A and B are shown apart, each in its own frame.
Chain A
Amino acid sequence: MRGNSTNMNAISQAVRTTAGSQVWKRLWKFRWQFAMILPGMVAVFLFNYMPMGGIQVAFREYDIFAGVWESPWVGLEHFSFVSDPEFWKVFKNTIWITVLKFLFGFPAPIVLAIMLNEIRSRRFKRIVQSLTYMPHFVSWIIIAYIVEAMLAQSNGLVNHLLASAGVEKIYFMGEEGWFRPIIVLTSIWKEVGWGSIIYLAAIAGIDPQLYDAAKVDGAGKWKQVWNVTLPNMLPTISIMLILTIPTLLNAGFDQIFPLQNPVNLPISEVVDTYVVRTGLNLGYYGPAAAIGLATGILQLLLVIGANSLSRRTGGSRLF
């Protein structure tokens, strides 16, 4: 028995070492691949994981000389924003803009794709597509200049036209009420063409026989769109819907910040711009980091919610 067990030990020892050396062998076999992945891993560690560690700033009185890890703890002091009516106003502004953008911006590329699909002339279709994709490639700063050039009170194009038609000029950028419509319209104008690409592909994948069958049944254009095109786009639409959920807290910093002015600030200040203003401009790192952490957690919950929704509706998991 004893001899047997030592034998067994020796065997398992041998198995273990070969297993060990096999792991090393496998690792060694993939040494080039690891070397290729390494720079990316380092970048993600530095610029994504290190800031996660830096969230402590939300619970510390950040002292630039002591650094993140040595600054004194202050508990939840920086989270006093939850009882600050100013913050809730900003939060409300954010939700207003994201909901309006969603309501009008989500269906827009679907409609555009269906309309594009009805074009008979290939050339015309290509031209329309090229032109509508174009604004996607232009920065929001340029868009802000376009808004200004079009809507400025004294020499904007729209006001020139209004004036020559005898209508009184409108001070678009000087009235709070115009801010949200401008934001929603420009975001649709900029992204609708680009957003339609994926829906066009979905339409292109529809079996033409389905349309033939509908025609035989006497369905007109509207009925074909309603009963054939839209139902067949549904999987794509639901995927896009789920992908949109996590962005519901994101009002669009790059778009909004350039268009802010003292007049529209009560309505145009959103969480992201508020964090930049209080944190980066005024240097209140703690409170700004606390707001950042709170929105980060909300965002995470939205992603998890979207993912479970996607699983439940039979779609694939997003992650």
Chain B
Amino acid sequence: MRSSLGERSLLAVNNLLLALFALSALYPFVYMTALSFNEGLDSVKGGIYLWPREFTWVNVQTVVSNPLVRDAFWISILRTVTGTAIGVIVTGLAAYGLSFRLLPARKFLMVYFLIPMLFSGGLIPYFIVLRDLHLINTFWVYIIPTALSVWNLIVMRSFFENIPEALIEAAEIDGANALTIFWKIVIPTSMPMIAAITLFTAVMHWNSWFDGAFFVNQLELKPLQTFLQSMLANAEAAENLRQGVNAESIGAEASKAVTPTSLRMSVVVLGTIPVLLIYPFLQKYFVQGVMIGSVKG
């Protein structure tokens, strides 16, 4: 069937609007990357839209050699790796245990895990608990309190419930215990879902800034996003970034062209790139993950 002229122009407008919106989602990252690779003083004049006019590594070099930024970056990496591993393991194990239909007290246990979704004690009592447990001002305040995610627990449990029982029974007959079955059968068959949950957890950790801002005082323990947040609130903090400028290695002329804005943009790029780099590879998994969560949740 041939479509009418009206319909074809409607389609064209639709495609155009979508293309514009998609570009608007991409553009700010392009813009900030261009600024972070452009000479700071030159950027002030404006007119940089897509790529650097006076290309330079100085901004990025300055930021990367700054000890504060470097510490923050490593804390972010460390918390993302550790927090994701512990979070996925603790949540996944609990979800698997709860997926057994004959488990005694299963109803009670599910209610126990679901109540926190309905009601929470609020921030202040939470903070007091963290302090009573001596987690304040430690690295572990990033890891332990988020080890169990109720939402992920629900998603993972409903996925595990749908694994064919025949697979598991066969292994039971062979004398495998629950842990072996989990490791040898359940994990391999649930890989796409686990990949999605892992991605979500990792992104959550990488992007967290609240805990670093309010539960930790030491600068050397703050993750990159908290560092960025403190720089946002305090314009002078960007000046501190210049500490890293090593006039000898970069050259006095070049280091003079560095501006607070160009340095800030470089840290922003540093804070964005890891997520944007891994994301295209995992796209097919996370779409699946959303669907599992929504259909079953």
List residues of A whose CB falls within 8 A of some B CB. Answer: 23, 26-27, 30, 32-37, 39-41, 43-44, 46-55, 57, 62, 67-68, 112, 115-116, 118-120, 124, 127-128, 130-135, 137-142, 144-146, 148-150, 155, 157, 160, 189, 193-194, 197-198, 201, 215, 220-221, 253-254, 258, 272, 275-276, 279-280, 285, 288-289, 292-293, 295-296, 299-300, 303, 319
| Shortest Cβ gap from A272 to chain B (Å) | 8
Q: How far is the CA of A55 from the CA of B276 in the complex (A)?
A: 40
B265 at the interface (CB under 8 A from A): yes
Q: Is the CB of B93 within 8 A of A142?
A: no
B-chain residues with CB within 8 Å of residue A35 when the two chains form the complex? 97
Q: How far is the CA of A135 from the CA of B21 in the complex (A)?
A: 12
Question: Distance (Å) between the CB of B257 and the closest chain A CB?
Answer: 15
Given the complex of chains A and B, what is the CA–CA distance between A297 and B117 in angstroms?
13
Across the interface, B122 reaches (CB within 8 A) one of A36, A120, A295, namely A295
Q: Quick one: which of B98-147 are within 8 Å of A by CB? A: 98, 100, 102-104, 109, 112-129, 132-133, 144-145, 147
A198 to B286 alpha-carbon distance, docked (Å): 12
Give B contacts to A, CB under 8 Å.
1, 4, 6-7, 10-11, 14-15, 17-19, 21-26, 28-29, 31-32, 35, 43-44, 46-47, 49, 90-91, 93-94, 96-98, 100, 102-104, 109, 112-129, 132-133, 144-145, 147-148, 150, 153, 177-179, 182, 203, 206-210, 214, 225, 228-229, 232-233, 261, 264-265, 268, 271-272, 275-276, 279-280, 283, 287, 290-291, 294
Whether A52 lies near B121 (C-beta < 8 A) is yes
Q: CA separation between A266 and B283, bound complex, in Å?
A: 41
**Are B26 and A134 closer than 8 Å at their CB atoms?**
yes
Q: Are B132 and A67 in contact (CB under 8 A)?
A: yes
A62 neighbours in B (Cβ, 8 Å) = 128
Given known contacts A51-B129, A130-B280, is B97 in contact with A36 (CB within 8 Å)? yes
Residues B22 and A132 in contact, CB atoms below 8 Å apart: yes
The listed residue (A67, A130, A139, A146) touching B225 by CB distance below 8 A is A139
In the docked arrangement, what's the CA distance between A39 and B93, Å? Answer: 9
Name the contact of B275 in the complex, choosing from A119, A137, A295 (C-beta under 8 A): A137
| A141 and B290 contact, CB distance less than 8 A | no
Point out the residue from A37, A57, A160, A197 that lies within 8 Å of B125, measured CB to CB: A57
Which of A57, A141, A148 is B271 in contact with, Cβ under 8 Å? A141
- Known A-B contacts A40-B153, A279-B123; the reply to A146 vs B279 at CB < 8 A is no
Show 22 A/B contacts (Cβ-Cβ < 8 Å), sorted by A.
A36-B182, A39-B147, A41-B112, A43-B144, A43-B145, A44-B116, A47-B129, A54-B125, A119-B14, A128-B19, A137-B203, A141-B209, A142-B225, A142-B228, A220-B4, A258-B233, A275-B122, A280-B123, A292-B123, A293-B122, A296-B120, A319-B117
A119→B18 contact, CB < 8 A? yes
Q: Is the CB of B125 within 8 A of A40?
A: no
Contact of A43 among B6, B148, B264 (CB under 8 A): B148
CA distance A157 to B265 in the complex (A): 14
- Distance in angstroms between the alpha carbons of A58 and B91 in the assembled complex: 31
State in angstroms the CA–CA spacing of A110 and B179 once bound together.
43
The residue of chain B having its C-beta at the shortest distance from the C-beta of A149 within the complex is: B32
Asked whether, in the complex, the Cβ of A32 is within 8 Å of the Cβ of B287, the reply is: no
Given contacts A68-B128, A220-B7, A276-B214, contact A34 B97 (CB under 8 A): yes
Contacts of B271 in A (CB 8 A): 139, 141-142
Given A39-B147, A258-B229, also A145-B125 (CB < 8 A): no
In the complex, the chain A residue whose C-beta lies closest to that of B35 is: A149
Interchain nearest-CB distance for B184 vs A (Å): 14
Select one of A68, A141, A193, A319 contacting B228, CB under 8 A: A141
CB distance from A108 to the nearest CB of B (A): 10
Q: B229 to nearest A CB, angstroms? A: 5
Q: Which residue of B lies closest to A291 (CB)?
A: B122
Q: Are B104 and A37 in contact (CB under 8 A)?
A: no
Residue of A40, A48, A139, A285 near B91 (CB, 8 A) is A40
What is the CB-to-nearest-CB distance from B102 to chain A, in angstroms, rounded to a whole number? 8
> Could you say which residues of chain A place their CB within 8 Å of the CB of B147?
39-40, 43
Q: What distance in Å separates the Cβ of A87 from its nearest Cβ neighbour in chain B?
A: 15
B7 touches A221 (CB 8 A): yes
On chain B, the residues within 8 Å of A215 by CB distance are 1
**A124 with B15: CB separation less than 8 A:** yes
When chains A and B are docked, how far (Å) is the Cα of A311 from the Cα of B198? 33
- Contact call A51/B94, Cβ cutoff below 8 A: no
A285 and B272 in contact, given A34-B97, A128-B22 (Cβ under 8 angstroms): no
Chain B residue contacts of A115, Cβ below 8 A: 14, 17-18
Q: How far is the CA of A5 from the CA of B139 in the complex (A)?
A: 67
The answer to whether A138 and B122 touch across the interface, beta carbons within 8 angstroms, is: no
